[in-house]
Amino acid sequence: MNLKEALKNLVFKEISKIAEEMNAPVFVIGGFVRDFLLNRRDKKDVDIVIEGSGIELAQKIAQNLPGSSKVKVFKRFGTAMFRYKDIDWEFVGARKESYSENSRKPAVENGSIEDDQMRRDFTINALAISLNESNYGEFIDPFGGFQDLENKIIRTPLAPEITYSDDPLRMMRAIRFAAQLDFDIEAKSFQAIKENAQRMEILSKERVMAEFNKIMLTRRPSYGLKLLEKSGLLDFILPELLALKGIEEIDGQTHKDNFWHTLEVVDNISQTTGNLWLRWAALLHDIGKAPTKKFDKKIGWTFHNHEFVGSKLIPGIFRRLRLPMGGEMKYVKKMVMLSSRPIPLISDEVSDSALRRLLFDAGDDLEDLFLLCKADITTKNKAKQQRFQQNFEKVERKIIDLEERDQIRNFQPPVSGEDIMQLFDIQPCREVGVLKNKIKEAILDGKIENERNAALVFMEKEGGELGLKLAKTYQKS
């Protein structure tokens, strides 16, 4: 579909007609225009700017569109929107803005389309198309946004130092758009980001993370992450990640640069999953290496227990960044904790007990764990890379075979605490927990089968050793 065909859309035609009746110039602007020109047709929202009341225009349009949702009005922002045929249509009056030094919230007053384009973050987002009857479909491009799309450049309409100082969130947006579109940031613009990096401190963590997560969900997140590092913005987001940067040498022995290794791992896993939190696990999987790094004269550089230390850092990082503290945080923490567990299992001599324990600890996240382990293979030696991949696949097959036999995944004890109390006629006490744990360990070690009767026999024996006497009234089921 070309642009002329797109502009035959019923809603555009209705907007043109009503705006003419209101004697108010009207335009479609921003992301819809940009993405249409880039042949990205999945845009689900359209921004309309009118030199007049956006709220009034939205209400009149919605009345003439059977099947549209109720108009939502945001008087504070002078905007209104409704949903029609799975697209959100947002209407706003053209405005101009002025900023104070300590806030990214501008003072707003009515303005022209030129004023509105001037306040936009980037030239590619300032592109507008007239919906007025006199010049319907004409491009309004005062800042060369069309050329910047052709040249794949992120550039600001105004002087970049003004744009970024006024609203420092635009620095994150510049890098996010560069990462999403695979564009370059204009040199003067990138220099202005570096010079204004300190302004990140006035931003809410929620807004920063919204942009950061969009970078994490791009096809190649390392591109955006490298720009964040080079610009200095990453210092204000994840200093723990930057602490991994650099290579030290003692007695001729070095270690790899764990920062750049991490970025490779994130890119690797992004080829196999769109799961944001698994990508976060890849980003943070080595976060414990900076605080655990030591040099041992006998064996060289060590990072003992870095997975454990790293997993302990996750709640604090998520809390500071205002990321979800529920299942998402627990999942990332678990993935980081387990990230090196499959490696020792590669040996042919590995016991079924070790495999059961990994299956027990990973549960339904086992497949994700192996995706992370495979993504962690960043060697450039093709033979080594293939061998490591095959080793992990061999461990996966072993665990699948074991699971079919033993049913350990999402393990539930075959006997409950109630069973234990009834068997020995006791009230809740320490011994109940001790016996439950002994049964679990016996099953994971392969001493007994994962079924009720075997567990009951084992429980009677272990209870006797703890000095517990069998209740006469207990009946095995």
Encoded tokens for 411: 């393990």
Task: Give the integer Cα–Cα distance in Å for 98 and 325.
Answer: 36
pLDDT band of 26, cuts 50, 70, 90? very high
128 φ/ψ angles, rounded to the nearest 5 degrees? -135, 155
Amino acid at position 402, single letter: L
pLDDT, residue 444, reads 84
Phi-psi region of 322 (alpha: psi -120 to 50; beta: other; left: phi over 0): left
Q: How far apart are CA 416 and CA 428, in angstroms?
A: 12
pLDDT category, 409, cuts 50, 70, 90?
low
Degrees, nearest 5: CA angle 341-345-349: 155
Burial of 23 (0-12, 13-18, 19+ CB in 10 A): exposed
Give ∠ CA 178-179-180 in degrees, rounded to 5. 95
472 C-beta neighbours (distance < 10 Å), count? 6
Count CB atoms within 10 A of the CB of residue 446.
15
Considering all CA atoms of the chain, what is the largest pairwise distance in Å, rounded to the nearest integer? 96
Weakest mean pLDDT among 242-246, 325-329, 376-380: 376-380
* Residues with Cβ within 8 Å of residue 196, at least 6 apart in sequence: 161, 164, 165, 168, 171
Residues ≥6 apart with Cβ < 8 Å to 12: 6, 28, 131
pTM assigned to the model: 0.85
Q: Which of these, 156, 159, 131, 161, lies nearest to 144 by C-alpha position?
A: 156
Residue 469 pLDDT level (bands cut at 50, 70, 90): confident
pLDDT at position 408: 66
Q: Helices marked H in 78-235 — which ranges?
A: 113-118, 145-151, 160-166, 169-181, 187-195, 205-216, 221-231
Give the tens place of pLDDT for each residue, 7-21.
Answer: 777 889 999 999 999
Q: How confident is the model at residue 107 (pLDDT cuts 50, 70, 90)?
A: low
- Per-residue pLDDT at 202: 92
Range name among 330-334, 353-357, 382-386, 401-405 with the lowest pLDDT average = 401-405
pLDDT at 381: 82
- Provide the terminal-to-terminal Cα distance of the chain, rounded to the nearest Å: 69
Please tell me the distance from the alpha carbon of residue 423 to that of residue 88, in angstroms, as a whole number. Answer: 63
* Whole-number Cα distances in Å, 163 to 71, 145, 168, 189, 374: 32, 16, 8, 9, 42
Which range, of 114-128, 281-295, 454-468, averages the lowest pLDDT? 454-468
Question: How is residue 408 written in tokens?
Answer: 């350990």
For residue 101, the model assigns a pLDDT of: 60
Average pLDDT, the chain: 89
Average pLDDT over residues 338-360: 80
pLDDT at 104: 56
Rounded to an integer, the average pLDDT of 178-190 is 97
The one-character DSSP state at 251 is T
Task: Name the one residue in this structure whose structure tokens are 């590619």.
Answer: 124
Chain segment 147-160, per-residue pLDDT in tens = 999 999 999 999 99
State residue 357's pLDDT score: 83
Return the top range by mean pLDDT from 84-93, 101-110, 251-260, 465-474: 84-93
pLDDT at 108 over 70: no
* One-character DSSP codes across 68-99: PPPPEEETTTTEEEEEETTEEEEEEE-EEEE-
Q: Taking residues 169-193, what's their average pLDDT?
A: 97
Q: How far apart are CA 231 and CA 175, in angstroms?
A: 9
Query: What are the tens digits of pLDDT across the range 135-148?
Result: 999 999 999 999 99
What pLDDT, on a 0 to 100 scale, did the predictor assign at position 142? 94
CA dihedral defined by 21, 24, 30, 31, rounded to 10 degrees? -10
| pLDDT(274) > 80 | yes
Structure tokens belonging to residue 187: 């040199």
CA distance 244 to 87: 44
Query: Helix, strand, or coil here: 45?
Result: strand
Pairing of β 294-296 and β 300-302: antiparallel
- Say which range, 5-9, 45-49, 352-356, 407-411, has the weakest mean pLDDT: 407-411
Q: Residue 4: is its pLDDT beyond 70?
A: no
What type of residue is 305?
A: N
Q: Which residue has the tokens 């030239």?
A: 123
- At residue 97, the pLDDT reads 66
Beta-carbon contacts of residue 348 (< 8 Å; ≥ 6 apart): none
Percent composition of the chain: helix, strand, coil (DSSP 3-state, to 5)? 55, 10, 35
Q: pLDDT tier at 106 (50, 70, 90 boundaries)?
A: low
Residue 419 has pLDDT above 90, yes or no: no
pLDDT of the residue at 291: 93
* Cα 448 to chain centroid, rounded: 42
pLDDT of 414 reads 83
